[in-house]
Structure 1
Amino acid sequence: MDLTRDLTIEDLGGGAVIEKLNYELKRVVANCADINMDATKVREVILKVQIKPNEQRTQAMVAIITDAKLAPLIPYPAHIFITEDED
């Protein structure tokens, strides 16, 4: 008899997965809109779900990890003087 329970992504952490994904998505969209960032770089939203069952396999600890890979700042060219003028 199959005693496993049907789970959905919405069930994990009482909805925390969706909340964490939304947070990272907002970061990515803000990064895309920032004129100081490279417009053509690919951004990523990352979701990792780690599940560690107990020995009886009746429960499991779940770690929900989210992250975002954002575009870096566009380099700003500037000049510096290395030597002083000789008078």
Structure 2
Amino acid sequence: MVKHHIKAQLSSLAEGALQERFNYELAKVAANCMDVNTDSKKKRKITINISVTTDDLRQDIYLDFETKSTLAPRENVGTRVLIDQSGDEIYANELLSNQRGQMFFDPKDATLKDDKGTPVEEIESIQSEETKQNDTSKIHSFKKQANS
């Protein structure tokens, strides 16, 4: 049986470069583990590949190493988008309430909003302005009829 006298520590190979690369990949894996948008049960991996070649005289060997990590993917996120068409125009807005046409209280700015996120005060202001314009046009129309 051949005795082996190997004095090569992985942490000191290439002046610590392999250890440094492992630490780099471990930091990426640790950050991925802390990401709440990933599945905590999925396995992550750190792979170290060491390729060994020799010279023609078989007096030296060359080690080439590569490190890589396999991370857990971020979980899918979905939403519901309302679509509508008026003539040639198409509209799309994210549904922010639970139901089409339902208003909701937005805790971010403490306002009541429609299902698309438009504040109710803004909607009422627009409707009030449209009502005033309609009333004004009715008055003008009535005056024209009276003057004729």
Which band: TM-score by shorter chain? 0.7 to 0.9
- Provide the secondary structure at the position in 2 that maps to 1:50: strand
Report the CA distance shift for 1:86/1:68 in structure 2 as closer, same or farther (over 3 A): same
1:22-77 residue CA offsets vs partner (Å, 9 max, x unmatched):
00001000000011111111111111111111111122222110000100011001
- Tell me by how many angstroms 1:11 deviates: 3.3
Greater alpha carbon shift after TM alignment, 45-54 vs 6-15: 6-15
Residues 22-37 of structure 1 mapped to structure 2, 5 A cutoff: 22-37=23-38
Instruction: Quote the residue 1:49 is aligned against.
Output: 50
Deviation track 1:8-29 (CA, whole Å, cap 9, x = no partner) reads: 2123211111100000001000
Task: State the distance in 2 between where 1:57 and 1:3 align.
Answer: 16
Query: Take 1:56 and 1:18, find their aligned partners in 2: how far apart are those partners?
Result: 30
Q: What runs of 5+ residues in structure 2 fail to find an aligned partner?
A: 88-148
> Would you say 1:79 and 2:74 are equivalent positions?
no
Do 2:12 and 2:19's aligned partners in 1 also have CA atoms closer than 8 Å? no
TM-score (norm 1): 0.81
**1:51-70 to 2 correspondence within 5 Å?**
51-70=52-71
Match of residue 14 from structure 1 = 15
Q: Partners in 1 of 2:85 and 2:70 — Cα distance?
A: 45
| CA distance in 2 between partners of 1:3 and 1:55 (Å) | 22
Closer/same/farther in 2, CA of residues 72 and 30 from structure 1, 3 Å limit: same
Q: Distance in 1 between matches of 2:25 and 2:85?
A: 51
Structure 1 residues 3 and 76: CA distance shift in structure 2, 3 A: closer
Classify the secondary structure of the residue corresponding to 1:11.
helix
CA RMSD of aligned residues (A): 2.4
Q: Percent identity among equivalent residues?
A: 26
Q: How does the TM-score come out when normalised to structure 2?
A: 0.51
Runs of 4+ in 1 over 6 A off after TM superposition: none
How many equivalent pairs are there? 86
Structure number with larger C-alpha Rg: 2
